[in-house]
Structure 1
Amino acid sequence: MTTRQAAHRREPLRAWRQFHSRDVDETRALVARKFCDHRLQPKGQAGSFATRYNHVGGRNLSLNYLSYGSAVQIDPGELQDFYLVQLPLSGGARVANGGTEVRSDRRTATVLNPTRATRMTWHADCRMLLLQISKTALHGLAERATGLSLPEPVVFDTALPVGQGGMQNWTRQFAACISATDAQKGFGHWSALQQEVIEEQLILGLLTRQHSNIRHLLKSRAPAGSRQIRRAQDFIHANAGDPLTVSAIAAAAGCSIRSLQAGFRQHAGLSPAEYLRNLRLDLAHYLLLSRPAETAVGSIAYECGFSHLGRFSQSYRNRFGELPSATRASSAKPEQSA
């Protein structure tokens, strides 16, 4: 029996029961204390509403179990300061985050982005595991992982395919965390260092495996070899939008230009200039996916260190298979419903 199947056969986090209520107003107020203010409207048979909510907090995230006992409409608007991963144990829901609407069930979880308005309908048999993640903590880890200052928030695809690729492993890790906590060996029992490590693994796993506007940036940094190459990469990532010369990069790394060239060829398969160009293109891709639709492509190109718009467009198409304007157009369209 898998950890997720075991969680499905009992009520997860039962030892951390927050409340069991049949009163809609009481439920709304108590759930809002842990998440945010929202509208809650029961649907379906009168008298079937019976909320069970369990919660255990960590440092930058919390584990939660929630069921309402009846179909409900939930409208929290923008979550503001946290992301929420919703993993159905049974039943399903229709989840809209921004312009995207997803049919969620045991095969398709959802990620709610805090900067996009959320509206949901949970079916009567819907039972959810919820992972609440601090927006500040996630953004800070994203910046450390990419080595870049990220001016726009991370935005994930709303649909999270539970049984596909890397997300399958991440879901198992999350379920194992729930099971360890239920066994009094997880949240509330780990040391502060253990708690920090587990939380970072969950957040970094989501960043690296779930599609988002920055996932490609996490692949931009090639494995570093010598200390000089690591310093060179740190300097490039910290100053990617500024005019940079190979001699300036070598000086920051504390090595000769020849050693710099040879080190990048060995460890990244690119020259320092090519590495810088690709990083700038990746930054432009991130900003095109993140900025308002009316932002000019040229302004993003210049912000990322490109001075010639035509050459930027050609290089961008070579790297991403489409023109910058096409990326901008596609980012304005809602995702396909799962």
Structure 2
Amino acid sequence: MLPAPHTRPSAQPVFEPGVLRANRLFESRDLDDTRERISRVMQPHELRPLARPQAGARSHMDFVRIGGIGLGTIDFGEAMRVDVDHVEDYHLLMFCLRGSAQAQANGRTILADTHQGMVCAPGHAFVADLSPDCEQFVVRLDRRMVEAHCGRAITFDSALDLRNAKLQAWIDQLRVLATSTTLVDAAQRNPVIATELERLLVLLLLEGQTWTDDAPLLRNTDTTRRAPAAGCVRRAESFIESHAEEPLRLADIAEAAGVPARTLLDAFKRFREISPMQHLRDVRLDRAHALLRDARPGTRVASIALDCGFAHLGRFSQAYQQRFGEAPSATLGLRD
């Protein structure tokens, strides 16, 4: 049994998620309806009130999807137990915007509130007893997306300390996603931007949160033993040449090459002395250089950068300068 959740004076929330408030998924006074609505964007689960149901208690959920990231708030309006048999194919992160919860994940019991939260790994059970005033903030990170951006299978530590200085950059980025309507709108319109936001959020979490490397699970597969390294590099390069302008992730390239991501990384390091993503960047830069050199009058650098798969103009300009020794605008100016 979990300890009873504590009702304590509300602390200052980590942030007020304005974007989510504008994307209310539902409001309901019916527990079965609430369970069904949440299950559509998360997964099947059980809900059990921890006290006599309150007359007029209203639940709600806000939810936004950005690529492989899901952000949501959930408030049941009363003390509630949430019981998930196993988290499906995603990493579940949860803390409280207000109130508190006793959560059990990955075999550990953790107090979640406005200062600390928890992480539940894919495939593990999750149980939480929520205080009557609890509003959860949940982050759903698709497993395949996480592996695509870090190149391996990983498990995050269960305890999420929101006061950890190393985690502040991740929290700041999470705050931006939850409060900037223009950024979310841009990411939902442009898959390249969505992929870059995925990458940033995952890398910042890796930087600030303790994690375990599960890469051996990727290396010890039949595919790894069968595939010759040089062959997988050639297949990856061919795929990159044909799809360079698309919002590719490491997992996409590895899948096309027919090997796990770790195998492809090791093969590129051995045969090319760079990573697949660095090769992708170089292919994109070479294409941008050729297009800028032959561009028609009135062509904008930003348009060519986007056409070649670069979502961030500043980083494109910096990489271009390093590779070709001049700014993109200088190449464009020399087209005649």
What is the distance in 2 between the residues matched to 1:6 and 1:120? 20
Secondary structure of the residue that 1:213 maps to in structure 2?
strand
Contact 1:92 1:105 in 2 (8 A): yes
110, 115, 121: which one aligns with 1:102? 110
Of 14, 24, 32 in structure 1, the residue corresponding to residue 31 of structure 2 is 24
Give yes or no for the alignment of 1:91 onto 2:99. Answer: yes
- 1:201 is matched with which residue? 200
* Residue of structure 1 equivalent to 2:171: 171
- Out of 74, 84, 90, the residue aligned to residue 82 of structure 1 is 90
Q: Does 1:35 align with 2:34?
A: no
Say whether the 8 Å CA contact 1:12–1:65 is kept in structure 2. Answer: no
Where structure 2 has 5 or more consecutive residues not aligned to the other structure, the ranges are 1-11, 217-232, 234-261, 274-336
Alpha-carbon offset, residue 106 of structure 1: 0.9
- Equivalent residue for 2:74? 66
1:129 equivalent in alignment to 2:137: yes
Displacement of 1:178 = 0.5
CA-to-aligned-CA distance 1:231-283 (integer Å, 9 cap, x gap): 9xxxxx749999xxxxxx98x469xxxxxxxxxxxxxxxxxxxxxxxxxxxxx
Match of 1:222 in 2: none
SS in 2 for 1:96: strand
TM-score of the superposition, structure 1-length normalised? 0.57
- Pick the aligned partner of 2:20 from 13, 17, 21: 13
Residues 80 and 130 of structure 2 are in contact (CA less than 8 Å); yes or no, is this contact kept in structure 1? Answer: yes
CA distance in 2, matches of 1:199, 1:80: 19
Who is 1:187 aligned against? Answer: 184
1:140 alignment counterpart: 148
Q: Which residue of 1 is the match for residue 62 of structure 2? A: 54
Deviation at 1:47, TM superposition (A): 2.0
Aligned position for 1:115: 123
Q: 1:239/1:29 Cα in 2 relative to 1: closer, same or farther (>3 Å)?
A: closer
CA deviations over 1:153-185 (Å, ceiling 9, x no partner): 4211111110112112211210121011xxx21
Aligned with 1:106: secondary structure?
coil
CA contact (8 A) 1:178 1:186 kept: no
Q: CA 1:27–1:104 in structure 2 vs 1: closer, same or farther (change >3 Å)?
A: same
Q: Call closer, same or farther: CA 1:6–1:41 in 2, change over 3 Å.
A: closer
Instruction: For 1:276-287, list aligned pairs within 5 A.
Output: none
Contact 1:83–1:112 under 8 Å retained in 2:
yes
Looking at structure 2, the residues matched to 124 and 172 of structure 1 have their Cα atoms a distance apart, in angstroms, of 28
SS of the residue aligned with 2:184? Answer: coil
Q: Distance in 2 between matches of 1:140 and 1:241?
A: 15
> CA separation in 2, counterparts of 1:125 and 1:55?
19
Structure 1 residues 212 and 52: alpha-carbon distance in aligned structure 2, compared to 1, 3 A threshold: same
Distance (Å, rounded) in 1 between the aligned partners of 2:18 and 2:191: 26
Q: Do 1:45 and 1:70's aligned partners in 2 also have CA atoms closer than 8 Å?
A: no
Distance 1:165 1:47, change over 3 A: same
Q: Which amino acid is the alignment partner of residue 154 of structure 2?
A: V
1:318 alignment partner in structure 2: none
Q: How much is the aligned-residue C-alpha RMSD, in angstroms?
A: 3.0
Equivalence map 1:218-257=2 (5 Å): 238=263, 252=271
